[in-house]
């Protein structure tokens, strides 16, 4: 069934159509750049708004998406959601190992990040009591200032961890602060810091399978940072994080549509929405569309946003409300209540993608995608390209 037909059968007011063949395409773009290195697919934050369980199921199906070795989420709840949906692939918990969560981390066979001795000792003791060996990745802070051990403490910590019963150190990692910039000088310093530790470990004959730091930006334009595992997020969903224009063929995998729920002809001088920030200059046809900031359409797009209606780009007028947004559709012929408009996506040769909305809303495509709300029904097109 076509996405359009599927959408028409849905009662909800807004629908995100997710094209899994585009996800495969983007994954192939990652593969092209990394050769035989392995992939940790970052699917935290509900797979950047795309729906973590269906995306994980698709990526985890080895036949469809060969080469994804691990999945990455931020928090325990996200990992449990995946396990309860039947996903058995390795899952990296990318924010740490809170001591109170250790029983569930072990029960659900998750791989936490470690960067403090208290968690290391508590995890080791718990694992030993249960007769388990828990895989962990050790995080170093090489310049992000967020999570991780200072580089000066890394070696002794890793040595202690590798000797600890019940623990298997499967990886070491760090995270770039600005690999998206053209100027990679700070990123190079971070890379050097990780390399030094990795080399020292090899000299000390401490064998750890993975060393990783490459996010989408580094995968795309910083080949020397690929090590043996990369962690793409945004590029899987079809967008480039790079400051400069990217030459990589990425395909946005999500299109977002919402229904027109009211249409009204109003005279010149009519005010639209809260605060009366827009006044019609002519007799106008105003469409009220069923999407608002509660669905992730940013309020900063008030009087700035653009949607596509019957193949025409039309402006958002007045303030974006919680559940609705108004458009000036005076020049759009034969629009009816119940019709769909394109909020993110393409229609009849016109397009509005999340990176354009991000620019208009003074943010980044990550925030636009992650913000897509729970009320939006997600449907998945599974046909391979
Ligand atoms: C630790 C870590 N690795 C990888 C990623 C993926 O980054 P990107 O979406 O830019 O590829 C993120 C995302 O924020 C992250 O926090």
User: Is the pLDDT at 103 greater than 50, yes or no?
Assistant: yes
What was the pLDDT predicted at 201? 97
Tens-digit pLDDT profile for residues 22-75: 999 999 999 999 999 999 999 999 999 999 999 999 998 665 556 799 999 999
Give CA–CA dist 330/333, Å, rounded: 8
Are residue 96 and residue 135 in the same domain, yes or no?
Answer: yes
pLDDT cut 70: percent of the chain above it: 95
Domain end point (choices 237, 263, 291):
237
Separation of CA 231 and ligand 1 centre (Å): 7
Rounded Cα distance between 55 and 59, Å, is 6
User: Tokens in use for 68?
Assistant: 């994804």
66 and 131 fall within a common domain: yes
Q: Model pTM?
A: 0.95
User: Is residue 273 one of the residues assigned to a domain?
Assistant: yes
Q: Which atom number of ligand 1 is nearest to the Cα of residue 40?
A: 4
What's the pLDDT score for residue 385?
Answer: 43
Same domain? 233 vs 282: no
Note whether 320 and 186 are same-domain residues.
no
Is 19 inside a domain boundary? no
Residues 228 and 274 in one domain: no
Please name which of 200, 241, 238, 236 lies closest in space to residue 217, comparing C-alpha atoms.
241
Three-state DSSP state, 231? coil
The answer to whether residue 243 sits within a structural domain is no
Structure tokens at 10: 């849905």
- Tens digit of each residue's pLDDT (9 = 90 or more) over 7-36: 667 678 999 999 999 999 999 999 999 999
Residues 153 and 59 placed together within one structural domain of the fold: yes
Final residue of a structural domain among 237, 268, 286? 237
Q: Which atom of ligand 1 approaches the CA of 366 most closely?
A: 9
How many H helices and E strands in the chain? Answer: 12, 20
Q: How many domains does the chain have?
A: 2
- Residue 131 is assigned to a structural domain of this protein: yes
Does residue 246 sit within a domain? no
Q: In this structure, are 223 and 274 located in the same domain?
A: no
d(CA 130, ligand 1 centre) in Å: 33
88 and 150 together in one domain: yes
What are the tokens at 279? Answer: 């006044």
In a domain, 69, yes or no: yes
CA count, 13 A, side-chain hemisphere, 191: 16
* Full residue range of the structural domain in which residue 170 is found: 37-237
96 and 174 housed in the same domain: yes
Q: Which two tokens stand for residue 254?
A: 């999500």
User: Beta partners for 346?
Assistant: 351
Give CA–CA dist 220/232, Å, rounded: 10
Whether 173 and 273 share a structural domain: no
Mutation to probe ligand 1, out of 29, 115, 216, 233 (largest number of atoms < 8 A from CB): 233
pLDDT of residue 91: 97
Sort 21 into a burial class: Cβ within 10 Å, 0-12 / 13-18 / 19+: middle
Mean pLDDT computed over 209-234:
97
**Which of the four pLDDT bands, split at 50, 70 and 90, describes residue 244?**
confident
DSSP state of 374: T
Which residue ranges have their beta carbon within 6 Å of ligand 1? 42, 94, 175, 215-217, 231-235, 241
Q: End of a domain among 205, 237, 269?
A: 237
Q: What is the CATH number of the domain that holds 109?
A: 3.20.20.10
Q: Which letter does DSSP use for residue 266 in this model?
A: E
Q: Can you tell me the mean pLDDT for 200-214?
A: 97
> With 70 as the cut, is the pLDDT of residue 181 above it?
yes
Would residue 32 show up in a list of annotated catalytic residues for this protein?
Answer: no
Between residues 10 and 244, the one the model is more confident about: 244
**Residue 331 belongs to domain with CATH number:** 2.40.37.10
Radius of gyration for the chain, computed over Cα atoms and rounded to the nearest angstrom:
24
Q: How high is the pLDDT of residue 146?
A: 97
**Is 282 a domain residue?**
yes
| Cα of 216 from ligand 1 centre, angstroms | 7
The model's pLDDT over 310-346, given as tens digits with 9 standing for 90+, comes to 999 999 999 999 999 999 999 999 999 999 999 999 9
Q: Are the beta carbons of 335 and 345 closer than 8 angstroms?
A: no
* Closest by Cα among 149, 74, 56, 146 to 110: 74
Q: What is the pLDDT of residue 379?
A: 96
* Residue range 266-275: mean pLDDT, rounded: 98
279-301: pLDDT as tens digits: 999 999 999 999 999 999 999 99
Same domain, 179 and 114: yes
Q: Is 274 a catalytic residue?
A: yes
Alpha carbon of 175 to ligand 1 centroid (Å): 8
Let me know whether 61 and 180 are in one domain: yes
Atom of ligand 1 nearest to the CA of 216: 11
Mutate to test the pocket of ligand 1, among 70, 175, 238, 366 (most ligand atoms within 8 A of CB): 175
Residue 11 lies inside a defined structural domain of this protein: no
pLDDT at position 246: 85
Model pLDDT for residues 139-165, shown as the tens digit of each residue: 999 999 999 999 999 999 999 999 999
Q: Give me the mean pLDDT over the 122-135 stretch.
A: 98
Confidence (pLDDT) at 243: 87
What is the pLDDT of the chain when averaged over all its residues? 95
Contact of 5 with 367, CB cutoff 8 Å: no
Ligand 1 center from residue 43 Cα (angstroms): 9
């Amino acid at each position: 069934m076509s996405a359009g037909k599927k959408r028409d059968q849905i009662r909800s007011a807004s629908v995100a159509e997710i094209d899994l063949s585009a996800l495969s395409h983007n994954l192939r773009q990652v593969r092209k750049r990394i050769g035989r290195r392995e992939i940790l697919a970052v699917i935290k934050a509900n797979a950047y708004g795309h729906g973590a369980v269906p995306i994980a199921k698709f990526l985890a199906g080895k036949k469809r998406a060969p080469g994804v070795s691990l999945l990455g989420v931020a928090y325990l709840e996200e990992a449990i959601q995946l396990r309860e949906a039947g996903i058995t692939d390795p899952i990296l918990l990318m924010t740490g190992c809170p001591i109170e969560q250790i029983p569930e981390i072990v029960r659900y066979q998750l791989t936490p990040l470690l960067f403090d001795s208290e968690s290391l000792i508590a995890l080791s003791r718990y694992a030993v009591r249960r007769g388990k060996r828990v895989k962990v990745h050790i995080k170093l802070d090489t310049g992000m200032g967020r999570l991780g051990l200072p580089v000066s403490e890394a070696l002794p910590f890793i040595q202690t961890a590798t000797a600890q019963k019940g623990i298997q150190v499967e990886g070491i990692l760090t995270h770039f602060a600005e690999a998206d910039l053209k100027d990679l000088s700070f990123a190079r310093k971070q890379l050097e810091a990780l390399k030094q530790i990795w080399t020292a470990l090899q000299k000390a004959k401490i064998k750890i399978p993975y060393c990783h730091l490459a996010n989408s930006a580094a995968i795309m334009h910083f080949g020397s940072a690929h090590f043996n595992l990369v962690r793409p997020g945004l590029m899987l969903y079809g967008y480039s994080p790079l400051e400069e224009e990217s030459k990589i063929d990425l395909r946005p995998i999500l299109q977002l549509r919402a229904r027109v729920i009211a249409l009204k002809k109003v005279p010149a001088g009519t005010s639209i929405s809260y605060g009366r920030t827009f006044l019609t200059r002519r007799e106008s046809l105003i469409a009220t569309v069923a999407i608002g900031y509660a669905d992730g359409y940013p309020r900063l797009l008030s009087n700035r946003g653009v949607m596509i209606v019957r193949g025409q780009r039309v402006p958002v007028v007045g303030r974006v409300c919680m559940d609705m947004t108004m458009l000036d559709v005076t020049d759009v012929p034969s629009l009816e209540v119940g019709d769909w408009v394109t909020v993110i996506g393409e229609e009849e040769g016109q397009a509005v993608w999340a990176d354009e909305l991000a620019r208009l809303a003074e943010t980044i495509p990550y925030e636009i995608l992650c913000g897509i709300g729970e009320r939006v029904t997600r449907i998945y097109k599974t046909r391979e390209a």
